[in-house]
Amino acid sequence: MKKNSFYTLILALLFTTGSQTSAGSPSPERPNIVIILADDLGSADLSTYGAPRIKTPELDRLANQGMKFTQFYAENFCSPSRAALLTGSYAHRVGIRKVFWPDSTDGLNPDEITIAELLKGKGYTTAVIGKWHLGHRKPFLPTNQGFDYYFGLPFSNDMGPNARPAKGPYGPMPIMRNEEVIERGPDQTQLTRRYTEETVRFIKGNRDKPFFVYLAHTMPHVPLYASDDFLGKSNFGLYGDVVEEIDWSTGRILETLDELGLADDTLVVFLSDNGPWLQKGAHGGLATPLREGKGTTWEGGHRVPAIMRWPGKIPANVTNDAMTTIMDLYPTIAGLVGADLPEDRVIDGKNIWPLLTGQTENSPHEAYYYYRLGRFEAVRIGEWKLHLEGNRRDYNNVHFDYTDDFLFHQREQLFNLADDIGEQRNLVLDYPDIVKKLREAVAEHKKDIKANSRPLGVVD
């Protein structure tokens, strides 16, 4: 890229606000809502995204019938990403700056108004099935966060006995139904199937009224498990087996909607909570050609696969390249059902309905801010991304650890993502004015977060 030929154009585009249109906001129609969240699924792990050895025909069909996003951002760890989805806000803003463990005494503050609570106010029946991971103490459980029904694991499937010897040990991993532990040490080869059966049962039981079901898969987070029907069947080892079973699960849910005549009345969203856990080698996925994966603020940590379908409303077989985020589901769904957004707090997500209906190709976001747990590390505006100077994770095949032993000091770095999606060529010395503008945006964002943050929930 030549400096002089792009300089004026980029500065003009950097801070354009005309894309923040409210045009196309639909009248309330109360569609059913199904959100399917995979855990640690990479942006290159589905065949519709170019995976050469993993076959995902059901998710390919979902993409062919709806819209596939190529620049969709989530947080880069489990708990923060779930908080962003349910609150429409940066996890840092709502106090979620870590991953919750079985010894945690805190969680998502019950004072938060979750997407489930917005929908309940509009007559929806709500359920979350699968991994919760926003606090397992009673005040933080889904049933106290707007969900009528909960079935699944309260945290990750690697948080069993002696997962953190310095803090544990803990009892065998629990399965909960609502607020009760109904089983300990479940057979994890059956988790994906059990979650699917619960989801299908919920949909069938609520077919005659608007429903919201949030299916949060445990997999392909390690340790990996697949049922006998899928074990050894893929061309990408155990990881591929697990992903192909998640694909089957998605197909089973789509089939159920078809059988009940609900497909045309249902918004289906499929996405991942963060990038792939590359440090797990053959048990982790891929983010190629993005740099790095889970736990980092490189693109591979935050960009995730995302597909949305609502027949007759969202055009079919469309690839969308606009910058969008997991936080956008909150205001978008609120707009669809006619729910008012809370006015006493900042909601960072944007209503992307105009994007979903093809009325615009422009992102409603002026910027995206990259956090790694409690650390703010980077900002993107337009195609420009600035990594701040400081310590950050950059594993490069270093074995993952929950400590900060693998933080490396890195100088300030500027990348043009349109030309350098792999974040290899540092242009910080070539574009000082763009660096200055990005720094200014960072300063304003930090002021806003400080003035408008909300507390983490804590129990004694």
Same domain, 420 and 321: no
Ramachandran angles phi, psi of 336, nearest 5°: -65, -35
Same domain, 337 and 410: no
Longest dimension (CA), the chain: 65
Distance CA 299, CA 415 (A): 11
356, 388, 411 — which closes off a domain? Answer: 356
Is residue 12 one of the residues assigned to a domain?
A: no
User: Tokens 């792939």 — which residue?
Assistant: 276
Is residue 207 one of the residues assigned to a domain?
A: yes
pLDDT of residue 161: 64
Same domain, 170 and 39: yes
Same domain, 295 and 188: yes
Distance CA 78, CA 185 (A): 21
pLDDT of residue 398: 47
Is residue 10 one of the residues assigned to a domain?
A: no
Same domain, 336 and 292: yes
Residue 458 in contact with residue 105, Cβ under 8 Å?
yes
Is residue 126 one of the residues assigned to a domain?
A: yes
What CATH number did the domain enclosing 247 receive?
A: 3.40.720.10
Same domain, 452 and 307: no
pLDDT tens digits along 337-373: 999 999 999 999 999 999 999 999 999 999 999 999 8
Q: Measured in whole angstroms, how far is the alpha carbon of residue 365 from the centre of its chain?
A: 17
Is residue 15 one of the residues assigned to a domain?
A: no
pLDDT of residue 27: 45
Q: What is this structure's pTM?
A: 0.92
Same domain, 73 and 97: yes
Catalytic residue, from 78, 221, 302, 365: name it.
Answer: 78
Catalytic residue, from 92, 133, 136, 365: name it.
Answer: 133
Tell me the three state secondary structure of residue 126.
strand
The total number of structural domains in the chain stands at 2
356, 378, 412 — which closes off a domain? Answer: 356
Ramachandran angles phi, psi of 200, nearest 5°: -60, -40
445 is catalytic: no
DSSP 350-370: ---HHHHTTS--S-S-S-EEE
Same domain, 318 and 400: no
Same domain, 392 and 333: no
Is residue 26 one of the residues assigned to a domain?
A: no
Give the range of the structural domain holding residue 287, as residue numbers without chain letter: 32-356
Is residue 287 one of the residues assigned to a domain?
A: yes
pLDDT tens digits along 161-200: 655 444 444 578 899 999 999 999 999 999 999 999 999 9
Among the listed residues 381, 277, 363, 361, the one whose alpha carbon sits nearest the alpha carbon of residue 327: 363
Distance CA 376, CA 112 (A): 22
Low-confidence stretches of the chain (pLDDT < 50) are 1-27, 164-169, 397-405
Same domain, 205 and 330: yes
Distance CA 287, CA 289 (A): 6
317, 336, 356 — which closes off a domain? Answer: 356
78 is catalytic: yes
Among the listed residues 72, 24, 19, 16, the one whose alpha carbon sits nearest the alpha carbon of residue 359: 24
Cβ contacts of 12 within 8 Å, gap of 6 or more: none
What CATH number did the domain enclosing 389 receive?
A: 3.30.1120.10
pLDDT of residue 14: 43
* Beta-strand runs (E) in 356-449: 368-372, 375-381, 384-387, 390-393, 407-410, 413-416
Same domain, 333 and 452: no
Residue 205 in contact with residue 119, Cβ under 8 Å?
no
Is residue 157 one of the residues assigned to a domain?
A: yes
Same domain, 384 and 311: no
